[in-house]
Amino acid sequence: MKLPKDALISDEKLTRYLLAPKKRNDKSKWLANAGYVPETWSILKNDLKTQVLPRDASLAESSSYGETYKIRTRLKGPNGKTLEVCTIWMVEKATETTKFITMYPDKRSR
């Protein structure tokens, strides 16, 4: 299944969560390996929309809030390095809005 091209990706999710250094569950170093840094968060946002969102999504979970989907793929960063990623998206039941939730390294062998 394909998720809508107009899925919402919160700027704060990128700047304050994924690209912000954290003591626990830090994803900023992993993303920096591909050239994604806080100052260029808009490149990550664009790459999620152009490289990840067009891929097939698989249903991960259904809840009273909506359905959660996974997209597993490769993400080519601005420095040319590629990351194996698993992204999580939710289609909210109340609004039918599709939102980006998170992303992490896909350690599953391809």
- Specify whether the CB–CB gap between 70 and 44 falls below 8 A: no
Question: What residues make up the domain containing 17?
Answer: 11-105
Q: What are the DSSP calls for 37-73, one per residue? A: -GGGHHHHHHHIIIIITTS--EEEEE-SSEEEEEEEE
Report if residue 49 sits inside a domain: yes
Report if residue 68 sits inside a domain: yes
> What is the helix, strand, coil percentage profile of the chain, to 5?
25, 35, 40
Report if residue 59 sits inside a domain: yes
CATH of the domain at 68: 3.10.450
Q: Give the model's pLDDT for residue 108.
A: 78
CA distance linking residue 10 with residue 97, whole number of Å: 13
Report if residue 4 sits inside a domain: no
DSSP-assigned letter for residue 5: T
Q: What is the pLDDT along the chain (110 residues), one digit of tens a residue?
A: 999 999 999 999 999 999 999 998 899 999 999 999 999 999 999 999 999 999 999 999 999 999 999 999 999 999 999 999 999 999 999 999 999 999 999 987 45
Q: Give the model's pLDDT for residue 102.
A: 97
Q: Give the model's pLDDT for residue 85.
A: 98
Nearest to 20 by CA among 44, 3, 1: 44
Report if residue 1 sits inside a domain: no
Q: For the chain, give the percent of residues with pLDDT over 70.
A: 98
Report if residue 110 sits inside a domain: no
Report if residue 69 sits inside a domain: yes
Report if residue 2 sits inside a domain: no
Q: Within a 10 A sphere around the Cβ of 44, how many other Cβ atoms?
A: 24
